[in-house]
Amino acid sequence: MKKEIFVLSIIFATMLTHTSCNKAPETINPLTVESTAPFGAPEFDKYKTSDFLPAFEQGIAEKMAEIQKIIDCKEAPTYANTIDALELSGRLLDKVSCIFFTLNESDSNDEMLQIENSITPKLTELNGFIYMNDDLFKRIRTLYDNREMLNLSEEQSIVLENYYKDFVRGGALLDKTEKRMLLDIDTQIGLESIRFGKNLLDDSKQFQMIITDEKDLSGLPQSVRDAAQSAAKEAGVEGWLFTLDKPSCIPFLQYADNRELREKIYKAYYNRGSNDNPYNNKSIIRDILKLRLSKAKMLGFDTYADFKMDVKMAKTPEAAMQLMNNIWEAAIKRAKEEATELQALIDKEKGGFKLAGWDWMYYTEKLRKVKYSLDENEIKPYFKLDNVLGGAFDCATKLFGLSFVERKDIPIYNDGVKVFQVLDDKQQHLGIFYVDFFPRKSKRSGAWMTNFVNQINLGDYNTRPMIVNVCNFTPASGDTPSLLNIDETLTLFHEFGHALHGMMTQAHYPSVSGTNVKHDFVELFSQINEHWAMESEVLKTYAKHYQTGEAIPDELIEKINRASHFNSGFETTELVAAALLDMKIHSLGEYDDEFDCNQFEQELRNAIGFIPEIEYRYRTCNFSHIFNSGYSVGYYAYLWAEVLDADAFELFKERGIFDAATAKAFRHLLEMGGSEEPMEQYRRFRGADPNPQAMLRRRGLID
């Protein structure tokens, strides 16, 4: 997933040097001065948590001064003195925001959460100062109304249009009273979102399933047992410890023979945020939904879904729903067939019970062995983490000529982080790439990509991006290195696809560089990158046994390929159901004080015929994508973009997966960011509109 962080624009670096030069050395805040690290990388070895709040305050003050200078300009508005100036404003704030919010997701602590609570209202006030200023909007509107006469490039036209829409959507056309109300709403939404995220993290981390009887480990591979034993030692308890981190709970659900314990950890995972404890998110969700709806109606929309979809490729909730409903019909049919197969296996073993959610993964693994003679534990030794990362790098080299050099001289924020310099096909510096792969108590669950430093190539400023991939993979245990399963391997390639999108950008304006594209376009670049991971000729280059160095054998590749569509009904329905939940819950025209998100989930489940043996990928109370991130009314984007990525990869398959001409054409899509209209560029690449049947073929839902 591409993690969206609230980051404002940038300010002149020369101002930062000037404002700091008269301070005594011991009082200089390392966040407010230029970095002396290679490439100007963040100096994590110098930062203290206490540095962030004063750095934010200085960044906000400088941003406001820059904006006020634009407002006070006596000259008639021009693109340079208005739009360019806006894009160049707030460099310190951009720097501090990128670093702080990224760390707050991946290496947080109580002090950082307090800073987030303190700074969120101030950032919202700054947002209001900018987007609700009549004089500033007047300058932008003048340019927008006369845009046909300005001789603008396509990128400049899009940037101008984005500013105009952002100001209108930010309340520029409201009266003073309404503007104040909208600002209060945005502040409350921000604070409630923080509470949601903290509750979810706390509820997830407080769960521990400690096993002391070795009989209860029956069925679990030795590697899973070793990891649980190491976790117990680290926590200071006896026995084997299982948590709700995916590398811990998913293998338990796949292999543990103890059905009662599978049920326990399954319910704990899916009930996060909805338990009867201080971490319950139900009332927070109700408040956020009410606030979002109030905002949408103030801005002239019937629902929050209408408001959000107005700037997406799909344009309307109805268009997104049509896609989801078409996929759902094929997926739920397959899921019911899969459930029948699993029940038959239970009955054959004389289980004496009806298939439930906590049985699905366990019996799926058994059925996989029966149908395809494929055991995940047979696969994992060939997917050593370092080798998988090397495989992703090698694909980028073959496709785009990139090279990756590990750097030990660039500061890191955690001992588990690695850093690479990325060079382009001319061996010129392209960017810096950080990887942060393993779970820890200070990191939220999931996987995402974001920026520590944003790209800009405007005026005297030419800064290349610094990108981080954050994941939660199975760590090393004893003498066994980190070994990935297929899902984790695809996740690595997925997030690396986002990283390539961020690193390869060649836009000029930061607001449209890298992954700053229409929301339902961004997942194209991550999802298409997954395709290379399981191609036979790619597997041969990186899937090597961690003990013997032997390349993965052809017969195992054949098993993987034959099983590639296995369980696709489950995988598709849980995804589509979550996307439907997101869209439907935000399409309501009112929420009363008794609104219960759990009841809404059940009503939707009944309406769409969602079988009880499968759960939503995320239930509402733990759906951080839509309540603590930038994916509200946007989870469908994975499916929308999958139509594009499946169709695009079919072109690679037709011409060769490393075909130079096709890679060159696709490279333009990666480099353009949001500086061109995405569908026009996609059609230029593909030579036609995307074919939605390609996505159904990819998932094995049609022949």
Catalytic residue annotation = 495
Give the torsion sign (CA, 106, 112, 113, 118).
Answer: negative
According to DSSP, the β-strands at 466-470 and 448-453 are antiparallel
Q: Is 679 exposed, middle or buried, given 0-12, 13-18 or 19+ CB atoms closer than 10 A? A: middle
Residue 688 CA to residue 323 CA, distance in Å, equals 19
| Contact between 570 and 614 (Cβ < 8 Å) | yes
Is residue 94 within 8 A of residue 60, CB to CB? The reply is: no
Sorted by sequence, the CB contacts under 8 Å of residue 487 that are 6+ apart come out as: none
DSSP state of 5: -
Which residues are CB-neighbours of 308 under 8 A, at least 6 positions away? 586, 632, 633, 634
In this structure, how many other beta carbons lie within 10 angstroms of the beta carbon of residue 263?
15
* Coil/strand/helix, residue 246: helix
Q: In what order do the strands lie in the sheet with 403-406?
A: 403-406, 417-423, 429-436, 466-470, 448-453
Give the chain's end-to-end CA distance (angstroms, integer).
29
Q: Kindly tell me the burial class for residue 357, based on how many C-beta atoms sit within 10 Å of its own C-beta (0-12, 13-18, 19 or more).
A: middle
Report the half-sphere exposure of 402 (CA within 13 A, side-chain side): 27
Q: Are 509 and 155 in contact (CB under 8 A)?
A: yes
DSSP-derived letter for residue 2 is B
3-class secondary structure, 419: strand
CB count in 10 Å sphere of residue 420: 19
C-alpha–C-alpha distance, residues 267 and 269, integer Å:
5
> Helix/strand/coil (H, E, C) string of 501-554?
HHHCCCCCCHHHCCCCCCCCCCHHHHHHHHHHHCCHHHHHHHCECCCCCCECCH
Listed in sequence order, the residues at least 6 apart from 138 whose beta carbon sits closer than 8 Å to its beta carbon are none
Spell 175-199 as b/e; 16+ CB within 10 A means b: eeeebebbbebbbbbbbbbbbbbbb
Q: How far apart are CA 217 and CA 201, in angstroms?
A: 27
CA distance 173 to 600: 34
Cβ–Cβ < 8 Å for 232, 223: no
Adjacent-strand bridge partners of 495? none
**145, two tokens:** 């109304």
What tokens does 446 get?
């999931």
Q: Which residue has the tokens 């391997």?
A: 489
Q: Which two tokens stand for residue 249?
A: 């709970």
Q: What is the largest CA-CA distance in the chain?
A: 84
Running DSSP on this structure, what letter comes out for residue 384? Answer: B
Rounded-to-5 percentages of helix, strand, coil across the chain:
60, 5, 35
Pick from 126, 56, 119: nearest CA to 92:
56
- Cα atoms in the Cβ-side hemisphere of radius 13 Å centred on 678: 24
Cα–Cα distance for residue pair 158/181, rounded to 1 Å:
29
Q: Kindly report the backbone phi and psi dihedral angles of residue 417, in degrees, each rounded to the nearest multiple of 5, phi listed first.
A: -90, 140
